[in-house]
Structures are given as C-alpha cells and as structure tokens.
Chain A
Amino acid sequence: MYHYLPRNRMLGAVLMLLAALSPLTAAAKEVTDLRGRTVTVPDAPATVAIDDGRFLLALALIDPDPISQLAAWPHDVSRLGEVYSQRMIDAFPALETLPSVASSAESFDMESMLAAEPDVAVVSLSRGPTDAQVATLESAGIPVVFIDFFIDPFAHQGKSLELLAELTGNQAQAQDYLALRDAHLARISQRLADAENAAEPSVFMEAHAGITRDCCFSPGSGGVGDYIDFAGGHNIGADVLEKASGKLNLEYIIAADPDVYIATGGPDLARSGGLTLGGGYAEDEARAALANMAERNGIAELAAVAEGRVHGLAHQLLNSPLDIVAVEALAQWLHPTLFAEIDPAATLAQINQRFLAVPYTGTGWVSLEASADAEPDDVAESDNAAQ
C-alpha cells in the first residue's frame, strides 16, 4: 500500500499549488452570505449554479438575460410554476438544455454540482449542502454561497438579491430595484406610523389552503408572519406558535374570530383541490377557488367570511423579491381607507416593465368582497350574526 503514498502526496502538492495560484489567476473578493459565512469568490464569476428554480425569478429581476451566467439549475419547473417556467423557457430556450443539479427539495447531489463546474454554487439556506459537503465543494474550487427567499423572506429578500447581483455583476439594476422596493415599503410604514392608534386588525393567514382535507396551517412568529405585522395587522398564529409556522386548532381560530381571513396558495395546490391562483390562473378561476376555501368547515362561520373580508395570495409573491406587491395588497386589505389609493397592480406592472426579463402574469392576489351579487347576502348574514 505504501507505494501509493508518493503519488498521493504529489497530487496533494499539485492541488495545493493550484489552490495557491488561483487567487493570482482570477481576482477574488469576499462576500458574507446568509449563513454569516465569509466566502471568497472570484471577482467576476463567469458562471453560477443554483439549487432552486425559484432563484430564476430573482435573477430575471436584475438581469435582462438571467441565464447568461447560469451553469446549472435543478429543472424543478413545478416550484417556479409550470406557466411561468414555460414562459421563461420560451424566452430563453437554453434553459432546457442546461445541466441539471439536485434541487434543495432533494438531498444534495455532489457529483452533478461538481460536474457542472460553476465558479460559485448558490444554494438554499433552508436545505442546502451539509458542512462536510460545503468543505468538499470548496476544496474542489467551488465556493458556496447561501441565500434565502423562503425561511425568513421579509428580512432576507434584499440581502439575497444583493448577493445574487454581486455574483452576477448586476449590482446597478439590483440597486435600482431595491430602491423601488424600499420606497414602496417606506410609504406603507410611514403612513401606518402617521395614522396613530390605527387599529390592528387580527388576521388568520392560512398557508397552503386546502392542501389536506383539514385546515389551519398558519405562519407563526417571524417568517411570513412578518409581512402581516409590517402591513399593520396582527397575526393570530403568532400568539400561539413560537416557531415560524405550524398547525392551529380550528377551534382556536373560530374562537379568535379574526377580522380578516387570508389564504395563500399557488398552482401546486390544483392536485389537492386547494387554493389555485398565481401564474396561469384567470381572476375568476382564482376567485372560485378562494370561494371554495371560504366554504369549508369552520372557516365558513368566521365573521371575516360573512362580512366579505376574504382574500387569496400567491406564495410566489411572498417567496420572491416581488414581495412589495404582496405587501401592498396586504396593507390595502387590512387598512382599506388608509391605503385606498395604493395600487399593487400598478406596482407589478411597473416591475414587469422596468425590471423583469420575463413578466409575471396571472392572478397573484384576489378577494371575495368584489363579487357584487354576493353583497346583499353578506349583509343579511352579518345581520344574523349580530343578532
């Protein structure tokens, strides 16, 4: 066995030499990722690999050609939504032929990532590679950067987008976009601060509405619940859930009788008969799905439903830097008079026109209150409830 050693040593020496030389051949810089790690990356990485198709939406926001630097992606079209993925592929056919890596929903696959040979691997904070796998990748010369649009979206959107921009050299457009996002957010927080003593309506936000026959997955403390707080509402899930999400007891919701009911969903819930909206769904289809959600056991009896404060929101809007559109919709639902003139549709149109390489279309948010013929019934019902 010993005679293998010298060769191993030689290989090691060569690797070390290469590692020592690489900073000389390509200028390097340091970035701090979402895990708080300081990572040395090439100054201008030629290629990046991503482990979540939904990162494409963020890339499309800051880069007119979002796949020009893409070395590999997981081809997980269902996460991005079939419709949006198809539009993306129509616009950039090369997407279909790019190498595939394991998505963050699967276990990390070392070989496909190594084979893709990206200059940087951009992976999900929620379920990326393990520390040992990161070490292996970095010893193979692939720095690993963790970003996050999903675990703690409100806090991490800006930082994650900046990291992506830094790696792909799109800082200018990212700064423009983040300036727009900050301005829109500031408008909401400012107006809420000015309107002293504005009541905080209580909100039940049902995550993945209709994914199983029973109900009541809800955001808890932090995570998506931050959006409700920011838009001037009170998330009833946060009162009992200490983690970011969990399953509430239906009785708790009926007893709390929230002022507003918001269901979140997406195209992925078509199979379970849940709330389908977002890319590829017309407004009346989304509204019909939302009406089904509001008719379920326990939900149907909520005052929010009887009085027409029922709204649906696409996950996609909360899970991407497009979240300002969701925040504006939320703010308007929670404080209709305070934010009467805010127009989320106009904001989305502006983002589509100024930034997104592939525009986001479909029904990202919908409300039941708008159906005029239902109104007399609603009034009658709320009268009954009052008696």
Chain B
Amino acid sequence: MSNTFLSFENEPGRLIVNVMGQWVFDEVLALEHATATVNPESGQSVTFQCAGLEEIDIAGAWVLYDRTEQLAVDGIKSEFTGFKAAHFKFLQNIIDAAAIRDYEEPPEHPVRPQRVRKAVENLGSNSSVVIEDLGEIARSVLEGMRSPSLYMVGETIKQVYQTGVQAIPVVMVITFLIGIVTVHQAASQLEKFGATVLVVDLVSISITREMGVLLAAIMVAGRSGSAFAAALGVMKLNEEVDAMRVLGLNPNQMLVIPRILGLVIALPILTIFADIAGIAGGALIAIGSMGISGLQFLERVAYSTDLTNFYIGLIKAPVFALLIAAVGTLRGMQVKSSAEELGLKTTMAVVQSIFMIIVADALFATLFTRMGI
C-alpha cells in the first residue's frame, strides 16, 4: 500500500505514514485521493513522518489537515514528526474549521413561488422608482426653462451635434437602402396590375409617413440611447454625479436635460434627411430599372404625397426622441454599484426605447387613421 505521496508502515498500535513529494496546489486532487487511503485499523494512532517532504504549500497542508480532522472525528489521534514548514501551525492558528465546513451546496433552482413574488415586488418598486425619477426630471426641466444656464445651452448644442449631425450619414444610407428594397418589393406585385407607376406613391408615402422617422428613431436608439445610459452610468459609478450634487449642481439639469433637448432637436432634422434619402433610393430603382422617367417620378411624388404625410412623419420625431432620451438617461442614472449593472441597464435602455418607439408608432397610426388623415 503506497503511492507517490504516501507510504505506510504498520506497527502494532500505530500506523506510520511517510509523507513525500510535492504537496502543492497543482496536486490537490491527487493528494485528496492519497489521503483518503489513510485508514488505520481501530485502536491505531497515526504518525505522519514528514521528513521526505519536498515542498508543501497552504493547499497541500490543508488537505493533510483536513484528513487529520476527519480522523479525529472517528476518535483517531494523529501526530506529526519532522515537519519543517511552519505551514501547519499557521493553519491551526487561523482555521475555524467548523466554519469552513459549514458549506451547503446552493440549490440549483430557486423555489418558484419566491421567484414570482420577487418579480412582482421588483415590478412594483421599479415602477415607483421610474415615476419618481420621471417626476424629478420633469421638475428639473421646468426649473431649467425658468432659469436656463449658458452651460446647458452649450451642452445641448453638443448633444445635437453628437446625436444628430454625426448620425446623418448612417441614417441616410439605411433609409436609402430601404427605399430601394421597398420599390423592388412593391414593383413585382404592382406589375401584375399594370400599375408599376404606383410604386412612386407607395415609396414616397411609406417613407415620409412611417419608414423615415421609424428607421431614424431606431438607429438613434441604438446609437445614442445606449451612449446616454453608458455615459451616465459610468459617471454614477465614478461618483461624478454625487460630486455635482455636492457642488450644488443638479445632475438632471446638467446631464439629463441637455441630452433630452438635444435629441428632441436632432431627431426631426434626421428625419428630414431620412425622408430625402429614402425617396432618393426609391427614385434610383424606379428611374433606373423600371422605365419611369425622372419627370414622371417627381410628378407622382407631388401628386400623391402632400405635406400632411411629411408632417405626420415629422411630428412623431420629437415624441420618439423624448422616449429614447428619457429611457436612456433614466437607465443610466439607475446604475448604482457594478460594471455588470451598467451593461444590463444599457441593454435595457436600447431594448425598451425601441419597444416604446414601436408602441408609440402604433398608437400614432391608429390615431391618425381615426382622424382621417
């Protein structure tokens, strides 16, 4: 009975165990198997001979100590001879072994009723927090309007640039492509009725009323909603927001309002660019491959799409902007403790703002249809 780490000598009344080799962290698994073979007969005590020990660290010492503790439970005494490292005494000094063994494996699945209860509780507390935060933001807006500071104006202009002007190229490219797609899809259907020219009506109405503003808003939600949440979240983690409050500044006014205002200004501008690009995309295909002349195209656009369509698209933009900016900044301000939370809140900001944009769009569509425009 022997292995790399232990060899045994049986004497009447005691078992001598020679401890040898490398009792280190990397070998813990093998060491545990080895120590499990120390099984003295009843009435025997165990003596660990440690003179052959090459190296031992805390992990190795722990395995040995752990075994002697287990033996002690069975009423078997163990002693050590020739121990050169101070580790063992060190262990004894610090271990409250009972406390360490107090380990229970966590249940794999939390009990279901608790989960549901927690979810309901969270929903309740979250919505009250959201209402409170929204109220605070609204109050700050009113205060800010009563006494606008130069800083806020500057910051708002910066936000218009970052969220609006810088987004123009990507928004235009996307709506341009969607214009192309719309014309292609519609043409193959309308051709059957010999009404190919109606693709112009279709693309110009759908882009101005719906697609332009919707695509711009979704793009901005992904681009700026996430940026708002992440930027404010990091500022919260760095205690910058606290520092502002201590300085007597209102972080809502300094950080939130400029972002909301900036986006409310920027998104309608983006929408105009999106409309132009979308119709241009449609025109490219209609004129280029469907035999509709440029003049004909313009004529159909002018005939089918009056300014009402354009305004309907445009009026949705500030509402969408408000939703994106409010959700993004609110989620950012809710970050409290950890980097993980930051990621979570940023994700929530994007997902929720896109969700709310589409819900709002559906409401608008119903409203405008009822109104007959």
Whether A associates with B in a native complex is: no
| Chain B residues in the interface with A (C-beta under 8 A) | none
